[in-house]
């Protein structure tokens, strides 16, 4: 099973992002481009980062009627991202339509398509009391993952805390992409369901998404290597 660390490049603009990536002279880390950067700079930022040799996870979390998502995914596929996502809460018809759009728009191999189960900023209490989903978090995430797998998707976004349940509900080959990862000595910020890179490995995550623990570090390259050592190599730094 391939494991990798994805750096969340949650920067406001192109210059700050490229200046950050310039520090990685000997590595080409997998990077996440989210809403802030994509909405500020547009599709060209994906092409530019891809041209530098990075794999790209385009994290836009689409959620709309099936036909709209299908057309949007067809356009996103042409950018060359390696991974894209949507909200599993949009339902199976939307997820199947998204896959059709990706396959129609891809130039070569289509991007891996993954579904967001529950955001790592969502607590079980909030899910039950505000969203009126009366089931335990792990059960909800596992069911959303099954819906995604049955719709032909490649995996899900979930907390590392639910990775084991997803694997058991789906299969070991079904990808778990897990944000909410911090070093033990870092602040958790606005995340609720968090863990460390080493613990995420033990819980069965395939990819971890790490943001501020790397991007806000005094030495981002050293922080990235620490995350790789903890998660990919299984040797806690």
Kindly list the catalytic residues: 61
At residue 61, φ and ψ (nearest 5 deg) are 50, 60
- According to DSSP, the residues that pair with 181 across neighbouring strands are 195
Packing angle, helices 44-51 and 14-21, rounded to 10: 10
Choose among 23, 15, 2: nearest CA to 217. Answer: 23
Report DSSP letters for 196-235, one per residue. Answer: -HHHHHHHT-SEEEE-HHHHTSSSHHHHHHHHHHHHTS--
State CA 101 to chain mean position distance.
Answer: 20
Extract the tokens encoding 200: 């995420």
Q: Which H or E element spans position 21?
A: helix 14-21
Choose among 114, 124, 106: nearest CA to 145. Answer: 114
Q: How many residues does the chain have?
A: 237
Nearest-5° Cα angle at 176, 202 to 57: 125
- According to DSSP, the residues that pair with 8 across neighbouring strands are 32
Under DSSP, is residue 71 helix (H, G, I), strand (E, B) or coil?
helix
């Amino acid at each position: 099973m391939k494991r990798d660390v994805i750096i969340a490049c949650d920067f406001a603009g192109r210059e700050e992002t490229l200046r950050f990536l310039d520090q990685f002279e000997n590595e080409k880390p997998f990077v996440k481009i989210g809403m802030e950067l994509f909405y500020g700079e547009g599709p060209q930022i994906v092409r530019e980062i891809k041209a530098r040799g990075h794999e790209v996870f385009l994290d836009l979390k689409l959620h709309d009627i099936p036909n709209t998502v299908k057309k949007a995914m067809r356009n996103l596929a042409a950018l060359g991202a390696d991974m894209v996502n949507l909200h599993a809460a949009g339902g199976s018809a939307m997820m199947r339509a998204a896959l059709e759009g990706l396959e129609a728009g891809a130039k070569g191999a289509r991007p891996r398509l993954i579904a967001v189960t529950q955001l790592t900023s969502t607590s079980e209490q909030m899910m039950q009391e505000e969203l009126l989903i009366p089931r335990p978090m792990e059960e909800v995430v596992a069911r959303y993952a099954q819906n995604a797998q049955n719709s032909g998707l490649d995996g899900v976004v979930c907390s590392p805390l639910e990775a084991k349940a997803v694997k058991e509900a789906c299969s070991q080959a079904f990808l778990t992409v897990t944000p909410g990862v911090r070093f033990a000595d870092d602040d958790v910020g606005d995340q609720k369901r968090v863990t460390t890179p080493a613990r995420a490995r033990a819980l069965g995550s395939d990819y971890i998404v790490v943001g501020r623990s790397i991007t806000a570090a005094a030495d981002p390259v050293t922080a990235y290597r620490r995350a790789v050592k903890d998660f990919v190599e299984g040797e806690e730094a």
